[in-house]
Structure formats: structure tokens, C-alpha cells
Amino acid sequence: MSVRQGYEAGAGGRMSRPRLFLWHRAVRSEIVLSGLVWLVILFFIVYPVAFLVLDSFRIANTGQLGFHNYKAFFSDLYYLNTFLRTCLLSGLVLLVTTALSLPLAYILARYKLRGMTFFTALTLLPIVLPAYAGAFAWVVFFGRFGTFNLLLMRWGLISKPLNLLGFPGLVLMQSLHLLPFMVLSLMAAYSSIDPALEEAAEVEGASGIRRFLTITLPLSTPSYFAGAVLVFLWPFTDWLTPLIFGVTDLLPTIAYINIAYHFTDVTRRYMGIVSVVIASLVCVGSFLLLKTWIERKRYTGLSKGTLLGGRTIRPRLAIRIISYLYVVFISMLILIIPVVLALSGFSRRWVLTPLPRYWTLENFQLIFTEAGRLVYNSFRFSGVALLMGVFFGLLMAYLLARTKAPGRAGLEFVNSLMLVFPGVAVGVAFLRAFWYGHGIPLATHWIIMPLALFVRRLPYFLRMAYAAYQQLDPSLEEAAEVAGAGKLRTFMTISIPLLLKGIFVGIIMFFIMAFQEISTAIFLYRGGWETLPIGLYLNWHRGMEFGIASAMAFLMVCVVFILLIIAAKIGGGILKVAWGASGRD
Amino acid sequence: MSFVEVQDLVKHFRTKYGVVTAVDHVSFGIDKGELVTLLGPSGCGKTTTLRCIAGLERPDSGDVLIEGRPMFGQGFVPPSRRNIGMVFQNYAVWPHMTVAANVAYGLKIARVPRALRMQRVREVLELVGLAGLEERYPAQLSGGQQQRVALARALVRQPKVLLLDEPLSNLDAKLREKMRFEIRRIVKQLGITAVYVTHDQAEAMVLSDRIAVMESGRIVQMGSPKEIYHRPATRFVADFIGTTNILEGRVEQVNKEQGLVSVITEIGRTLCRLPNPIPVPTDTSVCLSVRPEDVEVLTHCSELQTNTYQGRVVERAYLGHLLYLFISVGGTQLRVQCHPRLQVEEGQEVYVYLDPERCVILTS
């Protein structure tokens, strides 16, 4: 009876007393689970990142903390220039991407044209292709004595080869790589606008371009900015494409060079660390700005991320022809990547000719005989990372979608931050935090490789698992509980089977992303731990021999492509799958 | 003590706009074998109350007793241990299981032997009219059939209490009407205790032994459908259940011997039956409710008697089975239902008579 009295004693008063039942069994287990998740986050995300930030404030000689490094960074003209050039690159890339994607997305989302599904799939392909694969292909094709220049010279259109690499080439390459992210955001926006809104404008007398400018475009601004932020922060995270293009004075590249090659030079090391922290700040900052802005200004069902029908138009013949030409042009640029990689991979000594002369399987033989370890490592590390990812991803998705466990908002926040956090920063942070001397010496064991992949790629899996959970009606689970099933049994017999599709697509995307990861892994690998992307990079770097590197890249593209097709088959279309992968580095 | 006791239930929700009281000190009892409906507009707390009984929601205070056993007060009893059946608004039929597997799920958990399980599933599917569809998947069923699967699944374990959360709201009008009677037939045939949530008053009237009308988290009146309709306690109830005429006025005189109260209303002096439980002191303002079908229309009248008023037909609508009139009495419009053969035209002078027995005093 005392229980009951104590219980009633608190009943009459004011509100805000859901705490009364906080310690019931089910709730208690939720708290234990979320505690477990937070422990992992604290140890593998918060701790290394905090370590990195603290490190950037450390004064080299004395070991004390202060702003010395930052002052040195911004007062050194070279570093200041690096920062400004990165901003310039970001701006230009955003401009070019916007100009290319506004019409492209409109054509793909709105026009009822034959073969558009195929072109959509093709335009979105770079989302799953690693950026460095594209960069290699471009160097081969658009390099000083690449196919493009040679052909132009042969046809007598130019006398001297054009320099299509360098800074301008970099702008184009990165824009092309980011195009699908923007197209995807805009397509989602265009097709989630209620057709009635545009029809109403039409009835009021606005037609064509005016309707687009006054109704469609303003309604898609939140989506546009979501895509724009991803585009804008990419030059702050991509260090490899500039390196391949011969541009080194950019933040992430200088950070990589300083830390990977000049670690013993104390000044350069600290400048590298500061660069990483500044790049991360730009990424996180612009992401947070966007988040607050979108929350204030949400017109369409942005958060859903599903693609509804939207409005479709059958355009005039002239517009149809222009649309086709434009779509085919973009598709060609993208198709160059796998085609050139294949040509280069299956040939030897391809120089100074538009097409290779000697065909061979030697490169692939070499990969499998001498570098078989790389393939094995890639699968092993990605596989182990995947196991961890699925376990924690499902746990986190459950906590977020189905419980009132404290700190859920924080979980979601950390997860979305990890989506935009530069891979270089994670790599440096892990290196500093898990090396001997200062931190926990985890980096001496190979487990650090899958751990790093797990930390970097978890957000993609979580996003898909969470989305699947949100689409699952809670009453399906409640019905099981009412029928006598406990929480665990409900999870196993009802939730898991119904979530399977979303989870499976998430698993494949996780694997694709982990398989091609290089930004973090490049800092952590030691002899014998090289993965396929690292091997690819080292082969290019050591001998400037493109054959093997291209063969490796082609191999990766094939693996990714096969996985992507499986994912699309299961997940119900390339668009849904691509959505899950968007927002990556 | 009743079979199911809801005691002083309170539940708050935190939303973006602050704390909302969904259930505000709700108490009621349900006898064994009784079918009680929680009726009210959306957001009145009826579903939250039901979910507290199921254990899917935890109240901030108060308790639910099933067969005298507290469900919250002495440690939370999870839904899986309450032995209840529940039919969800959107059916919640598991799409990855066949009809038979859906229905057998709870029996499997209760470790009912296979032979008995199969027999029970067959029996209950027969009861809800789904015999022969055991191996179908939900995607191959119509909305009405999925509804029956949900009902069968809720009944198969012979639960102590059956909870139904707006089970018919996703069906089309024809089917909805048919299912009302069918659910009542099945529930009564099994003699099961049931709580039914709906916002559809016609559904509540057909189904229920008793109705609890809810408004902003509270029960405003509980009684048999007849009581609720003919003796509404408040203006909200009178308005929500069916249509009615509300006349505002002031108590002039109370005649306890005859059991009559005279009220000065907008249309004049009106006599009405003294409501039993509620004392009405002289000179308090009250509302009267008169149902449209309780207003008598007279085309001729030699002399104005008590509760007879002169008026004019403002609008007239012929609905086939009845005639619907708007009659203006001294500036107040009364809705009136009368026999379709009554000969009146728009603009015609008529007389209306309000039976004192049918004029209900409402507490406001």
C-alpha cells in the first residue's frame, strides 16, 4: 500500500512529472543502451576530435596552450593565401555546379522524355564513384598530352596543347563530381512541390520561365541550400583531387602534405594541424548555419527525402532537342571516367597516342598476384567496419526512432556532424589520439583501420536505418507487444523483418563508402595494412605509372557499380539509394 | 469494483508549443462483458486514455486496474503481460506474415500447442468471416478484410479486455456501417469486455452499452446512448451528439411539486422538466436543449398555450424521409424536423410547441 500512497502523493500537483516512471524496467534498459552508444561516441569521436582541437592550440616549444599557432598561420602569407584560395575554389565550384545543375535537375525531374531514367542513373553515378577515380581518368583524358589535346592537335584545331588541369581544371572536375549531389537535392525539391501550387500560378497567368522563377525556384531554395552546403564544403575536405591535378596550395592538401611528409618539422606539423581544424570549422560552421536556416524556412516535405511524382511536362520539340543534347553532354563527361580507366587499365605504356597501342591484362595480374593483399585488406577492413556499423547503427536507429531515451537530440546532432566532418580531420585526430606517448595506443593494432572506417561511415547506415524506422508504423510493433511479445522479441520478429529492405540498402551503401575510403585511412595505415585505395594512391605517387593505378581504380568502380545495382534492385530504384549516399565525402 | 477501473488518470505531452494535458483526471469503470465507448472530437484524449489502458502510454499519475490489479501503481505491467487484445486504427496487420501467422502470433508466444493453435485460429477466422484466407498475405486483402484480420488477432487469445482504437475510420461509408453491427455482434457473442474509441457519434450509438463523452481531456458525461442523447448534461454533449437547438435563458421559477422549471428564454417563457440530479436555483442563467425532432409544428392554433410560440418558416428542405425546417421565432432560428407530408411553404406563419419533457436544462 505504501507504494501506492507514495505514488499518489506526487499525483495531485503540477505538471512535468513524466519522471515518475523513469525507472521502470523498459525505460531502464533504454538508458543503459543509450549509455553504451554514448560511450562509443565519446571514445571514438569526441575524444579524438577534442584531442585534435586541443593540439592545434599547443605551443610547440613549451607544450602550453595558446593562440600562437593560429596567429602564425594567419600571419604567414603562404598559409593565409592557401585559406583564401580554398574559399575561392569553393565559391567557383558552387557557381559552376549551380549553373550546371539547375537546368539538369529540371529536365530530369519534370520533362517526360524517353530514356530519362537511364540518364538520371548515369548522372547520379559519381555519388558512389570515388573522387580520385574521376581525377585519374581526367588526367589521362584531359592532360597536357592526353587524348583530348592530342585529338584537337591532330585535327589542327590547336597547335599547342591546352592546360586543362591546374586550378581551372580543378574547378571543373570538382563541379562534375558534386553535380549529382546538387541535382539530387533539386530533383527532390522539384518533385515534392505540390503540382497544384504551380497550376495555381498558371491559372493566375504566370507561365513558363516566370512560373519557374516566382514559384518553383523559391519553393526549392531550402533543398538548394542543403545541396549547396555539401558542394561548398567539398573543397575544404578533398585533398587528393588537387594533388593529382598539381594544385597544392589548398587547405586540405597542405594539411595532408604537412602532416604526412613533414611530421618531424614541428612548425609544418602544427600548421598542418591548424589547417585541418580550420577546414573542419568551415565545414561544421556552414552546416550548422544551413541547419538553423532550413529549420526556419521549410516549405516542402524536405526532411522526408522521398521522391514523389511531382509535376511532369511534355515540352516542345525544340526544348526536347536542347534537353537531350544537354543531358547527353553531361553523361559523356561522366562516362569518360569508367571508359578511360578501363582503357588505361587494360593497356601498357599509353603515351602520346589518343588511344592505347598495347593491350594487356598484366596490370590486373599484378594486382591479384603481388597486390592481392590490398584487395584482401579492403574487404577485411570494410567487413569488420560493417559489422560494427550495423550493430551500433541499428541500436542508434532504435533509440532515435522508438524511445524517449535522454540525449537523443545529441545523438542525431553528432551523427549529422560526422556527415560533414572532413576525413582528413578524422585521420589526423585518430593518429594523434591513438598513438603512443599521448593517447591510448590503439593505432598500433590493425583494428584501428576498421574502427576509423566505422566512425566515418556510420552516419550513412544510420540515416538509412533511421529513415526505414520512421516509415515503419509504430502500431505494428505495438500490436506485437499487446499480443504478448517483449521488446526484444518484437524487435526480432516484427521490426527487423520489416526494416530489412532499408537496412540492406544501408549495408551496401556502408560497404561501398567504406571500401573506397582513403582520406582517413591514409593517415593510419602501416606496412601491411594498405587497402586498395591506398595502393592506388601509392602506385600513382611512386612511379607516376597510371596503368596499375587505373586498373585498381577500374576494379573499384566495378565493385562499387555491382554493389550499387544490387542496392537499387532491392531498394526500389537508383534515386532512393543515391539519396542515402548523398552528403558524403 | 468494476472489471476495469480507470482511476484519476493524468497524462501530459510535451510538444513544441509547451505542455499539453491530453488526459485530465479521467476516472470511470467498466463492468465485465460491457462495451464502453470513449467518444469525442480529435484531441480530446480518448486515444491516449485507451493507450494507457493498453500500457502503450504511461500516465503521469493515476492508475488502471484490471480485475482489481493495478497496472501502474505497483510497478508497470507492460502491454505484453496484460492479456489484452487491441485493434489499431490502421489495422497494424504485419505485412510480412500470412493471415494465419498474424492471428497465431500471440498464441505462439503463449506457447499454445500447435494443434490447439491451429484450431483456435480457424475458429476465430470463421467468427470474423475470413475462413479460407489463412494463407493470404495482407497485401492481397482489401481494407475491410485486413480489418477483420486485426480483429481476429485481437480476439484469438481470448483476452480479458478488447481495446478498439477507431477501427472503422479507414473504411468506406457502406462497409463502416455494416462493420458496426458486426463488431457488436462478435463482442456480445463472446461476452468480452471492450473499450471502443471513436469520434463518430452514430458508431458510438449503435455499438455501446455505455458512452463516455470526452472533451479536452475530461469525461463530461457517461451513460447509455439513450441517456446521452435525450438527457445531455452539457451544451458540448448536446451539440456533439446529433443536432440540437440551444436556447439561452434565466430561471424564473422552480415548481418542485410538479417537477417543472420555468425559464425565460430568447423565445419567451418555456417550461421544462426539472432535471433530477442538478439543482437549479432561481435567477441563474441556463441553456435549454431541444432536439429538432422534438419540436412540434402546428399550422393552426386557436390560442397560444404554454410552450407554444408563433414563428415563420424561413427555409425548407425536403429530404424524402423527413422535412427539415428553419423556423424563426422572435428572431431566434429553430431547426425543426417534421413529417414529410406536412404542408408548409417558406414564409408561412406557423406555431411551434416544445414538450416540457423534451426540453433539457444544460449546465454550462
pLDDT number for residue A582: 53
Q: What is the pLDDT of residue A572?
A: 64
Position A6 scores a pLDDT of 35
Between the alpha carbon of residue A583 and those of residues A231, A463, B50, B182, B355, the distances in Å are: 9, 11, 42, 53, 73
The terminus-to-terminus CA distance of chain A in angstroms comes to: 60
Chain A residues with CB-CB distance to B139 below 8 A: none
Q: What is the 3-state secondary structure (H, E, C) of A267-329?
A: HHHHHHHHHHHHHHHHHHHHHHHHHHHHHHCCCCCHHHCCCCCCCCECCCHHHHHHHHHHHHH
Cα A149 to chain centroid, rounded: 32
What whole-number distance in Å separates Cα of residue A85 and Cα of residue A83? 6
> What is the least distance, in Å, from the CA of A407 to any CA of chain B?
16
Q: Out of A38-42, A166-170, A570-574, which region has the weakest mean confidence (pLDDT)?
A: A570-574
Q: Do B92 and A473 touch (CB under 8 A)?
A: yes
The lowest-confidence range among A28-37, A284-293, A296-305, A424-433 is: A296-305
- State the pLDDT confidence band at A583, using cuts at 50, 70 and 90: very low
Q: State which H helix or E strand residue A348 sits in.
A: strand A347-348
At which residue does the C-alpha cell 493507450 appear?
B51
Say if A6 is an interface residue toward chain B (CB within 8 Å). Answer: no
What CATH number does residue B230 fall under?
A: 3.40.50.300
Q: What is the pLDDT of residue A21?
A: 44
Task: Name B194's Cβ contacts closer than 8 Å, sequence gap at least 6.
Answer: B34, B35, B36, B161, B162, B163, B164, B187
Chain A, window 432-491: residues with a beta carbon less than 8 angstroms from a chain B beta carbon:
473, 475-476, 478-486, 489
Mean of the pLDDT values across residues A267-294?
88
Q: Could you tell me the pLDDT band of residue B118, with boundaries at 50, 70 and 90?
A: very high
Q: What is the mean pLDDT of chain A?
A: 81
Q: What is the SS3 assignment for B88?
A: strand
Of A10, A475, A483, Cβ closest to residue B105: A483
Residue B89's closest chain A neighbor by CA?
A475
Are B90 and A473 a contacting pair at CB < 8 A? Answer: yes
Beta carbons of B78 and A481 less than 8 Å apart: yes
Measure A289 CA to nearest chain B CA, in Å. 21
ipTM of the complex as predicted? 0.78
Query: Closest chain B residue to A475 measured between Cα atoms?
Result: B92
Closest CA to B49 of B185, B287, B222: B222
| CA atoms of A187 and A213, how far apart (whole Å) | 16
- Preferred mutation among A3, A482, A488, A499 to probe B, highest tally of B CBs within 10 A: A482
> Range of B332's domain?
243-362
Cell for A149? 589535346
- Please choose, from the candidates A141, A140, A146, the residue with its C-alpha nearest in 3D space to the C-alpha of residue A161: A146
C-alpha cell belonging to residue B247: 436556447
| Chain B CB contacts of A15 below 8 Å | 12, 19, 21, 60
Does A26 reach chain B within 8 Å, measured CB to CB? yes
H or E segment to which residue A424 belongs: helix A423-433
Q: At residue A20, does pLDDT exceed 50?
A: no
Would you state the pLDDT for residue B364?
59
Going through chain B in order, the beta strands assigned E by DSSP cover 4-15, 18-30, 35-39, 61-66, 69-70, 84-87, 161-165, 193-198, 210-215, 218-223, 245-255, 260-265, 268-273, 285-290, 295-298, 308-318, 323-329, 332-338, 349-354, 360-362
Find the mean pLDDT for residues B137-145: 90
Chain B residue closest in CA terms to A489: B109
Cβ within 8 Å, pair A15-B60: yes
**How sure is the predictor about A368, in pLDDT bands with cuts at 50, 70 and 90?**
confident
What pLDDT, on the 0 to 100 scale, is given for residue A211?
Answer: 78
Cα B334 to chain center, whole Å? 25
Which residues does B167 contact at the CB level (< 8 Å), separation at least 6? B87, B88, B89, B91, B147, B150, B151, B179, B183, B196
**By mean pLDDT, which of A75-84, A203-212, A265-274 is the weakest?**
A203-212
Chain A and chain B share a number of CB contacts under 8 A equal to 109
Pairing state of beta strands B218-223 and B245-255? Answer: unpaired
Across the interface, of B58, B70, B80, the residue whose CB is closest to A484 is B80
Residue A571 has a pLDDT of 66
Across the beta sheet with B210-215, what order do the strands follow? B84-87, B161-165, B193-198, B35-39, B210-215, B218-223
Instruction: Look at A549-553, B100-104, B113-117 and tell me which has the smallest mean pLDDT.
Output: A549-553
B66 and B113 belong to one structural domain? yes
B253 in the same domain as B214: no
For A571-584, what is the mean pLDDT?
56
What is the distance of C-alpha A174 from the center of its chain? 14
Q: Do B157 and B30 belong to one domain?
A: yes
What CA–CA distance (Å, rounded) separates A294 from A301? 12
Q: Assess whether B181 and B318 both reside in one domain.
A: no
Model confidence over B48-80: pLDDT tens digits? 999 999 988 889 999 999 999 999 988 888 888
Same domain for B296 and B190, yes or no, is: no
Identity of the residue in B62, B74, B154 whose CB atom sits nearest the CB atom of A11: B62
- Answer for the pair B271, B310: CB distance below 8 angstroms, yes or no: no
Question: Which pLDDT value is given to residue A545?
Answer: 64
Same domain, B228 and B284: no
Name chain A contacts of B217, Cβ cutoff 8 Å.
none
Taking alpha carbons only, the member of B127, B197, B187 closest to residue B165 is B197
Residue in B with minimal Cα distance to A499: B96
Which residues lie below 8 Å from residue B274, measured CB to CB, with a gap of 6+?
B254, B255, B256, B259, B260, B261, B280
Residues B198 and B278 in one domain: no
- pLDDT given for residue A175 in this prediction: 93
Residue A76 · residue A157 · CB < 8 Å: no
Whether B95 and A24 lie within 8 Å, measured CB to CB? no
pLDDT for the residue numbered A585: 41
pLDDT of B358 above 50? yes
Closest CA of chain B from A29, distance in Å: 14
pTM for this predicted structure: 0.78
pLDDT in tens, B10-41: 999 887 778 889 999 999 999 999 999 999 99
Q: Which three three-digit cell numbers place residue A246?
A: 598539381
- Three-state SS letters, A158-206: CCCCCCCCHHHHHHHHHHHHHHHHHHHHHHHHHHHCCHHHHHHHHHCCC
Contact criterion met (CB < 8 Å) for B89 and A475 = yes
Same-domain pairing of B134 and B95: yes
CB–CB contact B60 A483 (8 Å): no
Cβ-defined contact of B86 to A482 (cutoff 8 Å)? yes
The CATH number that applies at residue B357 is 2.40.50.100
What's the 3-state SS for A81-104?
A: HHHHHHHHHHHHHHHHHHHHHHHH
Interface test mutation site (partner A, options B10, B12, B109, B111, max chain A beta carbons within 10 A): B109
Q: What is the pLDDT of residue A439?
A: 62
From B215, B236, B257, the end of a domain falls on B236
Most confident range, picked from A386-390, A432-436, A535-539: A386-390
pLDDT tens per residue, range A101-122: 998 988 888 887 887 778 887 8
Query: Is B228 exposed, middle or buried, given 0-12, 13-18 or 19+ CB atoms closer than 10 A?
Result: buried
Q: What is the pLDDT of residue A389?
A: 93
A486: nearest CB among B63, B72, B80: B80
Cβ atoms A254, A248 nearer than 8 A = yes
Distance from C-alpha of B22 to C-alpha of B218, rounded to nearest angstrom:
9
Angstrom distances, CA of residue A409 to CA of A290, A406, A416, A480, B26: 17, 8, 11, 27, 33
The last residue of a domain, from among B236, B251, B284: B236
Q: Indicate whether A14 pLDDT > 90.
A: no
Task: Choose the final residue of a domain: B210, B236, B262.
Answer: B236
- Contacts of residue B84, defined as CB under 8 A and 6 or more positions apart, other chains included, come to A482, B53, B54, B55, B66, B159, B160, B161, B162, B163
Instruction: Specify the pLDDT at position A18.
Output: 44
The whole-angstrom separation of Cα A557 and Cα A546 is: 16
pLDDT (tens digit per residue) in A31-76: 888 899 999 999 999 999 998 898 888 887 777 888 888 888 888 8
Which pLDDT band holds residue A260 (cuts at 50, 70, 90)? confident
Q: Are residues B177 and B278 in the same domain?
A: no
**Could you give the number of structural domains in chain B?**
2
Mark whether B157 and B260 lie in a shared domain. no
Q: Which residues pair with B149 in a beta bridge?
A: none
Contact B110 A484 (CB under 8 A): yes
Q: Assess whether B358 and B247 both reside in one domain.
A: yes
The grid coordinates of residue A158 equal 590547336
Say whether pLDDT at A300 is over 50.
Answer: no
Helix (H, G, I), strand (E, B) or coil at B357: helix
Least confident range from A331-340, A564-573, A574-583: namely A574-583
User: At residue B184, does pLDDT exceed 50?
Assistant: yes
User: Do B293 and B192 share a domain, yes or no?
Assistant: no
H/E element, A515 = helix A496-515
Cβ neighbors of A366 (< 8 A, separation 6 or more) are A548, A551
Compare CB distances from A482 to B8, B85, B94 and report the shortest one's residue.
B85
CB spacing of B78 vs A475 below 8 angstroms: no
